[in-house]
Amino acid sequence: MRKSISRRDFLILTAKGVGAAVISSGLMGCNSSDGDRDVSVRFNHGVASGDPTQTAIILWTRVTPEETASINVAWEIATDAAFTNIVNSGNTLTNQQRDYTVKVDAINLTPGTQYFYRFTANGTTTSTGKTKTLPEGAIASAKLAVMSCANYPAGHFNVYNLASQMNDLDAVLHLGDYIYEYPRGGYASDNAAQLNREVLPVGELFTLDDYRTRYAQYRTDADLQSLHAGVPFITVWDDHEVTNDTYKDGAENHNEGEGDFETRKLAALQAYFEWLPIRPIAQDNELEIYRSFQIGDLVDLHMLDTRVLARDKQLDYANYISPTTGAFDGATFTQDISDTNRTMLGSEQLQWLQTQLGNSTGTWQLLGQQVLMGSMYLPAAVALSLMTLEQYTELGALAVLAGRMQANDPTLTDGEKAYFAANQDKLTDEVMAQLQLPAVPYNLDAWDGYAAERETILQTAKAYGKNLVVLAGDTHNAWASDLKDLNGDNVGVEFATSSVSSPGLEYYLNIPAASAPTYEAGIVGLIENLQYCNLRDRGFMTITFTANEAKAQWHYVDTILSDVFQEITSRSASVSVNAGDNQLTLS
């Protein structure tokens, strides 16, 4: 048990058997005397698989009985869709205590093999799911889909639909915000009523029943069901599975009068383990989700918890701005953000990751985690919302022109002189002071707010000579960055996915479609080490690994406001890194 989880939390969840999976080692007889056989049931929430290894995989479903009862659920796993060659079967009881969910850990399977599975209860059978185990030994390639941030009321899950049309995926990595906790009419709900996607329950999520109800609503979505039924998921939670900007003992969206945060957190984690096809890292431990997967000899995947387990509270720019003068206390901010004790992972998870990197043998070391690791510093005037990006661009250019005027630059044109004369009044003392502020992180919830621990990770990968690829979600926009240590050395690369449906910077900056490329080019030019971004479109990315290259491909949909959509191929992009280079190349 890690010290960042209290003994009280551990005992509460383990006593409940949260998200426990039945171990199935092969063909088993069915005990037909167990369960209430006269109760009619439905399978409203589909099937799913997850956490594949070379020889095992988690299978999931949920029964909806017409009345409260214990239900006997049987499963079958076969190597063919007709189930003529069944290799694993059995049965188990589920009931109201586990929200009628069923999780089976099917073991003794064959590496790199496709399987078909289904569940049956009281004469009703699920649709057939398809899954696969991870390959073992030498392989030519591996392909993963990466996604995050699916907000039900924001729009249709067309991104899941698009991904489900791919037939060559080894797994889907979901980096969190699988659900959102907000009430009806809350965040990104402008079109919810029109789309018939208003959330259940009506209120914000606080109790176990609240979280269960929200998961149940999400899992009735046909597009999400289709993707789950076709490919195994490997998941981690982010903040909205609990509440916005969660940290180890609180959250931005947990306020006075909303009850005990620990109680809310434990309810959220219990529902997560019940509804997601995730395997506990150890017997009776459903509080820690960092774990590793080996995909042949190509990829060692390390899934991290940067959110719930040990994260220190996020810094807040408001605490560094004088309420009287509006001045930014850069010295204190720099001291606090450089504090070597600030942690996102906690000491035990960090040590585990360092050990995993040291012992790894795969060509690529892949970190599946939630928030941006790439350094993304913006001029403080923009990051602190003292001026917009457009204003900064205009006033910064005007300030440069003022310097040239003061220096009597002989290359000044008559047009430049006239422009300066007409606009020089905009360069007030306040504006000039804002333009001279240092660059600061634009997102203190990301790794920029925990810089010392990030440097430790980068130095570890560098010391071991690893090909490091970091994946991220969270921001609702797509990014690709070179990862450099404090010495300026290239240590790895980062690929970040857009969102399934949650709005990104296009919403907050009101970026029209025609202007998106201009904004994106401006941001790439402004942020050091950033090589690519998409600020407007909803989508996901795929990562294809070979011995020589890791290539990210972003896929976007043209709308989430209708279930009729198409992929925007004109906005698709790909970025790659060659083994040994640790530097991105735009395709």
- Stretch 95-114: mean pLDDT, rounded? 97
Asked whether residue 492 is domain-assigned, the answer is: no
Asked whether residue 396 is domain-assigned, the answer is: yes
- The tens digit of pLDDT for each residue in 274-326 reads 999 999 877 667 689 999 999 999 999 999 999 999 999 999 999 999 999 88
Q: How far apart are CA 35 and CA 49, in angstroms?
A: 24
Q: What's the total number of domains in the chain?
A: 1
Asked whether residue 160 is domain-assigned, the answer is: no
For strands 57-62 and 47-50, give the pairing.
Answer: antiparallel
End-to-end CA distance of the chain: 45
Alpha helices in 408-482 (DSSP H): 414-423, 429-435, 451-464
- The tens digit of pLDDT for each residue in 246-263 reads 999 999 999 999 999 999
By C-alpha distance, which of 17, 158, 25, 176 is closest to 89? Answer: 25
- Are 419 and 401 within 8 A, CB to CB? yes
* DSSP run (H or E) holding 273: helix 261-275
- Are 461 and 357 within 8 A, CB to CB? yes
Q: At what angle do helices 414-423 and 389-406 cross, to 10 degrees?
A: 120
| Structure-token match 């919302």, residue found | 385
3-state SS, 204-238, equals: CCCCHHHHHHHHHHHCCCHHHHHHHHHCCEEECCC
- The tens digit of pLDDT for each residue in 411-467 reads 999 999 999 999 999 999 999 999 998 889 989 999 999 999 999 999 999 999 999
What pLDDT is attached to residue 280? Answer: 83
Higher pLDDT pick, 566 / 506: 566
3-state SS, 511-579, equals: CCHHHHHHHHHHHHHHCCCEEEEECCCCEEEEEEECCCEEEEEEEEECCCCCCCCCECHHHCEEEEEEC
Asked whether residue 409 is domain-assigned, the answer is: yes
Q: How far apart are CA 66 and CA 398, in angstroms?
A: 70
C-alpha distance from residue 584 to each of 146, 364, 491 (Å): 18, 15, 11
Asked whether residue 414 is domain-assigned, the answer is: yes
Res. 16 pLDDT band, cuts 50 70 90? very low
What pLDDT is attached to residue 438? Answer: 86
Number of helical H runs and strand E runs in the chain: 15, 29
- Are 165 and 564 within 8 A, CB to CB? no
Q: How far apart are CA 247 and CA 177, in angstroms?
A: 14
Residue 584 one-letter amino acid: L
Asked whether residue 498 is domain-assigned, the answer is: no
- The tens digit of pLDDT for each residue in 69-81 reads 999 999 999 999 9
What mean pLDDT value characterizes the chain?
93
Which DSSP string corresponds to 232-256? Answer: -EEE---STTTSTTEETTEETT--T
Residue 177, both tokens: 């915000």
Q: How many other CB atoms sit within 10 Å of the CB of residue 81?
A: 11
What pLDDT is attached to residue 27? Answer: 66
Provide the domain limits for residue 401: 392-434
By C-alpha distance, which of 233, 104, 250 is closest to 176? Answer: 233
Residues 6+ apart with CB under 8 A from 395: 387, 426, 427, 431, 435
- The tens digit of pLDDT for each residue in 162-207 reads 999 999 999 999 999 999 999 999 999 999 999 999 999 999 999 9
Alpha helices in 328-428 (DSSP H): 330-337, 347-359, 380-383, 389-406, 414-423
Q: How far apart are CA 587 and CA 581, in angstroms?
A: 15
Asked whether residue 9 is domain-assigned, the answer is: no
Q: How far apart are CA 238 and CA 148, in angstroms?
A: 9
What pLDDT is attached to residue 3? Answer: 40
Does the predicted TM-score (pTM) go above 0.85? yes
Asked whether residue 421 is domain-assigned, the answer is: yes
Res. 4 pLDDT band, cuts 50 70 90? very low
- Residues 325, 326, 330, 334: what is their CA dihedral angle, to the nearest 10 degrees? 130
